[in-house]
Structure 1
Amino acid sequence: MKRKEKLNRIFLILLSLFVVMLGYGILLPTLPYYTERLALKDNLDSDLINFHIGLLTSIYPLFQLLFVVVWGKLSDKYGRKPIIICGLVGFIIMQLLTGFSTSLTMLYVARIFGGIFTSSIIPVSNAYLSDITLAKRRTKIMAWSGVAISSGVIFGPVIGGFLSQTPLHLEYSIGVLHLDRFSVPFLFSAMLGLVVLIIISKFLRNNVHIQKFTTKKIRSRFLLSKYFIVLLLLSFVMQFVVTLFETVFSIYGKDELSFNSKQVGIGFMLCGSVMAILQPVFATYGEKIMSSKQQIALGLLVTGGSLIAFPFFNNGIYVYAMIVIFAIGGALVTPNLLSAVSLISKKNTGRNISIQSSTNSVGQILGPILGVWLISGGGYYPFVVAGIIVLATMGLVLPLLKLNYKT
């Protein structure tokens, strides 16, 4: 494959990742306020608002978990492109349903539908990148995947906060659908998704696996590999604490810090910016200073320490500073984990990354639930508990990181 063609493919994949995460980022700072508005409209008990915030956050990765391995296997059989296209179609429909929602029920339907279809995009896109990248460059390309994802989280909250506050006094009902100024950011995201869908459909070449698809069972040696289990455990913990933090910070910022949606969005923007800038830096130059395993260990230490310290700062500047430190830890861990999983097997990259994505989804399901439950007992509980879990996990897995996976 010529260099120009490879770069074009990489750009298209990164573009699809960016747009999907942009849609995710648009909802992040507005979900507590959006849920509160719909809950009050449905005359629900105000004490249950945080419960619905946690459930709405968790139900999306729950359906991702149920379908991600299915999409991974289909991509190994039919190629990556058609599966990515299916995910983009589902993403567009999810954004439209969210923007037109008039009740919590409709919002739940949108999240479930989106979880089913968007579960294909990130793991299959990463599998595509892995397919066209040499092993020695795998960590770097996975870091750029992280940049695309983080960039969506950078601009999403900003766009969501800005567009939801636009002075457009429009209000229109179409049956059970309702259009108002809160619909604008989601309609914008849907239109952007449609543009990317057209571009991907026309210009991205399918990446079909050359080996014949087989339904034979995965070998028990693969399933029981200690090295792979360690990677999955680390992936679970990182996604657990990241999603817990995202959910709780929105509530904590609104209730404890008296932040508005724009101030909460700034926090997410800072987190995404640091991740986007530092992931390729660590991937490119990090191994000149320390190994990928040492980077993972250091990242866990930084992440756990920042979470424990976070609730002890109430000043806006210090709160944002702790978010930056938290993001630095994540930037050290994420690309190295994804690269390690992609290098386990050349024959089943899509399946392996999908299994990791399933593990991530479990963390994304449990994180918001535990976070919302803990915050009811005090604003600092979720952060301290999450930090302790990260540090405890680091102590448990460091000896096992010495293992080498052998196919």
Structure 2
Amino acid sequence: MNLNNRNIAIILFCIFVVMSGYGVLLPVLPYYTERLALKSGVVADEDINYHIGILTSIYPFFQLLFAVVWGKLSDRFGRKILIVMGMLGFVIMQFLTGLATSLTMLYVARILGGIFSSSVIPVGNAFLSDLTDRTHRRKVLAWSGVAVSAGVIAGPMIGGFLAQTNLHFSTTFGHFLLDKFSVPFLVIALLGILILLVTLAWLKNPENNKSGTLLQAQKSKLKVGLGFMLLLSLSLVVQLAVTLFETVFSVYAKDILTFGTSQIGLGFMLCGLIMAVLQPVFASLDEKKVSIKAQLLFGFGIASISMFVFSLWNSDMYVYSTIVAFAIGGAMVTPNLIAMVSFIDQDHTGTNLSLQTSMNSIGQVAGPVLGMWLYTMDKTWPFPFIGVVLLLVAVMVVPKLNYKIKRA
């Protein structure tokens, strides 16, 4: 099999840039929203916090609505055009966000970003699936997970570093000022333009996803079986657990552990770094020695135990160790779930992976809300709750997985 390394590299860079754009917002959004809210006449803290919450969740909400649409279109008309549209929408979102002068403009930017950038990851993963066979697919899709994790790590670092000072430019046309909270988004937009130009120039559709794809997709109807539904439910649970933990950890670390921002940042960095490093390692394991189902069982089990014991002690090393264990479990689960979804139906890979992305988006929307509700009930409840959910999934759902590959 001849792996198209150039195509794979371009797709991985697209995914990395999109996830960096997601991450760059995290350290900046509260301050940026507050400034725009004050300009718009919103002065009450609870109203500002309300807008921050809505702006955070509106992005995955529109991803949820449109991811399947893009996946179906990519199965019909090819992957490249949808990836180009997604990157173009991503660039427009970053520019609009960086140049926003009102909350309304910021909302428009986030909605457009959720609509268009939702195509990049699922369609990119479908593209990678088109380029690989069963033997290599898990490894390549694991590198997609690395690109996601690396973007999650790099984004907040870029945002925190660039949002330090205003930029002043004196020209013959006058003096220009770039607000410090706008700079990270404009830099990411320029990076997005660079990757967009590379994509237009060098990315080529795989041969099995060109002119014949439209006719093939029209003749072959998508069949959703129990195995596929179970995989989607697993994806939802994983994303719910991860986003719930991420949301609650930062508040819990500030209130209970008395961590500073650097200590909280170290926790997130460790989680992303472990995920990035170990996903290719687990995806490279021989299925004959360690089956995919066995890896899922181990992954859910390790993540579950780490959450059960997370709040027992408050020392830095103990907290970081449990975070590392949680990340190890996630690294076992994530690439294998993506690979199993891609194996189900070779005629509808884009649609299937987009449905998985929609499930992830539901988890991203519900996780923070559920986590903070549990936190208001008792500050330690969210962690054993995650542990119980992951344990139930490992015991009740994973053993029932029995999928067959439908080939063209």
TM-score by length of 1: 0.88
Q: Please show how residues 85-234 of structure 1 align to structure 2 within 5 Å.
A: 85-165=84-164, 167-168=165-166, 170=168, 179-207=178-206, 208-209=209-210, 210-211=212-213, 212=215, 214=217, 218=221, 222-223=223-224, 225-234=225-234
Distance apart, 1:91 and its partner CA: 0.9
**Cα contact 1:32–1:250 (8 A) shared by 2:** no
Q: Please show how residues 37-76 of structure 1 align to structure 2 within 5 Å.
A: 38-39=36-37, 42-48=41-47, 50-76=49-75
- Distance across 1 between alignment mates of 2:375 and 2:68: 33
RMSD after superposition: 2.7
1:10 aligns with 2:23: no
**Cα contact 1:235–1:360 (8 A) shared by 2:** yes
Distance apart, 1:313 and its partner CA: 4.2
Q: Partner residue of 2:273? A: 273
**Cα contact 1:235–1:356 (8 A) shared by 2:** yes
Q: Partner residue of 1:78? A: 77
Distance apart, 1:217 and its partner CA: 8.8
Aligned residue for 2:360, secondary structure, equals: helix
- Distance across 1 between alignment mates of 2:250 and 2:101: 22
Aligned residue for 1:206, secondary structure, equals: coil
Distance apart, 1:367 and its partner CA: 1.1
Q: Partner residue of 2:174? A: none
1:194 partner amino acid: I
Segments of 5+ residues of structure 1 without an aligned counterpart are 173-177
Are residues 260 and 85 of structure 1, via their aligned partners in 2, closer, same or farther at CA, if it must alter by over 3 Å?
Answer: farther
Q: Partner residue of 1:331? A: 331
Are residues 311 and 44 of structure 1, via their aligned partners in 2, closer, same or farther at CA, if it must alter by over 3 Å?
Answer: farther
Q: Deviations over 1:137-170 (max 9, x none)?
A: 11111111111111111222222221122x4465
**Cα contact 2:343–2:404 (8 A) shared by 1:** no
Are residues 48 and 315 of structure 1, via their aligned partners in 2, closer, same or farther at CA, if it must alter by over 3 Å?
Answer: farther
Q: Partner residue of 2:17? A: 19
- Distance across 1 between alignment mates of 2:259 and 2:96: 27
**Cα contact 1:271–1:327 (8 A) shared by 2:** yes
Distance apart, 1:124 and its partner CA: 0.3
**Cα contact 2:27–2:160 (8 A) shared by 1:** yes
Distance apart, 1:193 and its partner CA: 0.7
**Cα contact 2:304–2:390 (8 A) shared by 1:** yes
- Distance across 2 between alignment mates of 1:161 and 1:390: 33
**Cα contact 1:62–1:365 (8 A) shared by 2:** yes
**Cα contact 1:299–1:332 (8 A) shared by 2:** yes
**Cα contact 1:54–1:368 (8 A) shared by 2:** no
Aligned residue for 1:182, secondary structure, equals: coil
Deviates more, 1:27-36 or 1:318-327: 27-36
**Cα contact 1:32–1:251 (8 A) shared by 2:** no
1:389 aligns with 2:389: yes
**Cα contact 2:248–2:382 (8 A) shared by 1:** yes
Distance apart, 1:105 and its partner CA: 3.7
Distance apart, 1:303 and its partner CA: 1.6
Deviates more, 1:145-154 or 1:252-261: 252-261
- Distance across 1 between alignment mates of 2:282 and 2:34: 40
Segments of 5+ residues of structure 2 without an aligned counterpart are 171-176
The alignment covers a number of residue pairs equal to 396
Deviates more, 1:117-126 or 1:59-68: 59-68
- Distance across 1 between alignment mates of 2:384 and 2:394: 16
**Cα contact 1:243–1:368 (8 A) shared by 2:** yes
**Cα contact 2:100–2:106 (8 A) shared by 1:** yes
